[in-house]
Homo-oligomer: A and B are copies of this chain.
Amino acid sequence: MSAMEDHPLSYSRLGDCARNVESVITRLMADKLAYPEMLSLAAGFTDNRVLPESLVQAALESLSITENRSHLQYGMNRGRPGLRRCVIDLLKSYPGEHDLDLDEENIVITNGSQQGLYILVQMLCDPGDIVLVESPSYFVFLELLEGLGVRAVSIPCNEDGTIDHSGMAALVSSLESSGELESVKLVYLMGAFANPSTRCISESDKLGLCDLLRGLERKIPVVEDMAYRELYFDEPYPARTLLAIEEWRNHPVIYSGTFTKPFATGLKVGFIVSRNRDCLTTLAKIKGHQDFGSAHLNQAIIENVYSSGEYHKHLQAIRPHYREKRDILEAALLENGFKDAGWEWDQPLGGLLLWARGPEGTNTRIGSPFHKRCVEKEILYVPGDLCFAEGSPENCVRLSFGALEKELIPEAAKRFCEAALQTG
């Protein structure tokens, strides 16, 4: 008797959608397993070397004194009140946002920020509905949409990553005339150090978008994914969040964030912030059905670290580390003639990624000669086409300097450039 059977089941519509999504991560991991010497510029992981081991341990010790073991017990579905107050403190720590009028009722703690995004799409979008996303956008979010049968449509963006407002107005008109505007249920933005482009959205772009959305008959909710916001190198990106901008008042705005992306991804503590009561109530109900509350231990650890002041200190300490890794990657790309060969990129000011655009005619898709050469040279990257709702352009790559040890970055960049710049 074998341990596996291959009898097909009868799936729901959602089950069928999800089955048909090709997971990029799975594909990349298969490559990695087939080539053990593979160096990865693909994984969006953080650097093990700067993970806060002693802080987590100290937090657990401190909890053993203060918590009467309740950190090992179920918690509230919406999350620990104290941790929700830490969310507010974090949001208020940014310049120009000290006055944010939020309280713990505006927060739901989620199982990583991904769960918050997933529930938002579940609760707002039926299969066939549309979510507007930037171009490029976060490929895991695009997969999430596909898995729920929801269509992604790109917000037109300029070469420099800013929003193309006249293009956006034209898109809305065209959706209106095709009758599809009523299917647009959500706008997904990454406000700071976006994955993959590390682009940030300026206040003027935020205002421009607000003008457009305010003119529509129905208020389309906007979610601002700020997963990378805390991972700036020198200073926070100066634009305020939608939550803090007066013009966005009275528009359904959702802020999505995470404590653990910049701190310790293995803990998975995210949060959703909104002023829309009904939105949070519905989100919390669905969360109740999915897990009736995120793991309480992880919340208690983060709350303890945050409240002690060590959270901010730790981030302050790791910023130069990632900035240095960015510098090493950029220097190695230059040294290996990447720019001379016509590739360009904007220097990342935060995050873990570098988004590069190749000269005309470049094709980095999975299965392309470019991709094959990289696999042969045992180097992984994320093909840029995966980050676009429409699957094009195809001349971009996402390179990550997050996980790879800094000593290996030059070799990885060398292999990558050799493969990239070779022709045929």
- Complex Cα spacing A65 to B123, Å: 43
Count A interface residues, CB 8 Å: 95
Instruction: Collect the chain B residues with CB atoms within 8 Å of residue A72's CB.
Output: 48, 51-53, 56, 264-267
Cross-chain contact B12 with A129 (CB below 8 angstroms): yes
Chain B neighbourhood of A2, CB < 8 A? 101
Is A94 an interface residue when CB atoms closer than 8 A count as contact?
Answer: no
A223 at the interface (CB under 8 A from B): no
Q: Are A126 and B10 in contact (CB under 8 A)?
A: no
Which residues of B are found within 8 Å of A282, using beta-carbon distances? 9, 11, 15, 18-19
Residues in chain B near residue A279, CB distance under 8 A: 9
Q: In the docked arrangement, what's the CA distance between A344 and B148, Å?
A: 47
A124 at the interface (CB under 8 A from B): yes
Interface residue? A27 (CB, 8 A) = no
A279 to B6 Cα, complex, angstroms: 9
What string of 1s and 0s marks CB contacts (under 8 Å) between A250-269 and chain B? 10100000000000111110
Residues of B close to A281: CB separation below 8 A:
19
Q: Is A360 an interface position by the 8 A CB rule?
A: no
Within 8 A of B (CB), among A117-169: 118, 122-126, 129, 140, 143-144, 147-148
Taking a contact as CB atoms under 8 Å apart, the answer to whether B74 and A21 are in contact is: no
- The reply to whether the CB of A383 lies closer than 8 angstroms to some CB of chain B is no
* Chain A contacts with B in 23-63, Cβ cutoff 8 A: 23, 25-26, 45-46, 48-49, 51-53, 56-57, 60-61
Assess whether A69 is in contact with B57, with CB atoms less than 8 Å apart: no
Asked if A276 is at the interface of the complex by the 8 Å CB criterion, the answer is yes
A140: nearest chain-B partner, CB-CB? B292
A249 an interface residue at 8 Å Cβ cutoff?
yes
Give which listed residue, B64, B140, B143, B147, contacts A53 with CB less than 8 A. Answer: B64
Residues of B within 8 A of A106 (CB): 3-4
Is B124 in contact with A15, judged by CB distance below 8 angstroms?
Answer: yes
Are B295's CB and A295's CB within 8 A?
yes
Decide if A290 is an interface residue (CB 8 Å cutoff).
Answer: yes
Which residues of the other chain, B, contact A265 by a CB distance below 8 angstroms? 72-74, 296
Q: Are B124 and A276 in contact (CB under 8 A)?
A: no
Closest to A44 in B: B74
Contact of A71 with B19 in the complex, beta carbons under 8 Å: no
Q: In the assembly, how many copies of this chain are there?
A: 2
Instruction: Tell whether A277 is near chain B: CB-to-CB under 8 Å.
Output: yes
Distance A337 CA – B69 CA, assembled complex (angstroms): 35
A79-105 contacts to B, CB under 8 A, are: 101-103, 105
CA–CA, A49 to B69, complex, Å? 8
Q: Which of B9, B266, B277 contacts A295 (CB 8 A)?
A: B266
Contacts known (A140-B292, A268-B295); A286 close to B71, Cβ less than 8 A:
no
Q: Does A288 contact B (CB under 8 A)?
A: yes
Could you tell me the distance between the alpha carbons of A61 and B54 in the complex, rounded to whole angstroms?
10
Q: For A218, what are the chain B residues with a Cβ–Cβ distance below 8 Å? A: 10
Residues of B within 8 A of A268 (CB): 291, 294-296
Q: Are A252 and B9 in contact (CB under 8 A)?
A: yes
Cα–Cα distance between A69 and B53 once the two chains are bound (Å)? 7
Which residue of B has the minimal Cβ distance to A12?
A: B126
A12-B126, A15-B122, A51-B73 known, 8 other contacts, Cβ within 8 Å: A9-B219, A14-B122, A15-B123, A72-B265, A111-B111, A114-B291, A147-B289, A148-B289
Residues of A within 8 A of B (CB): 1-15, 18-19, 21, 23, 25-26, 45-46, 48-49, 51-53, 56-57, 60-61, 64, 68-75, 77, 101-103, 105-106, 111-112, 114-115, 118, 122-126, 129, 140, 143-144, 147-148, 185, 218-219, 221, 249-250, 252, 264-268, 275-279, 281-282, 285-286, 288-292, 294-298, 300
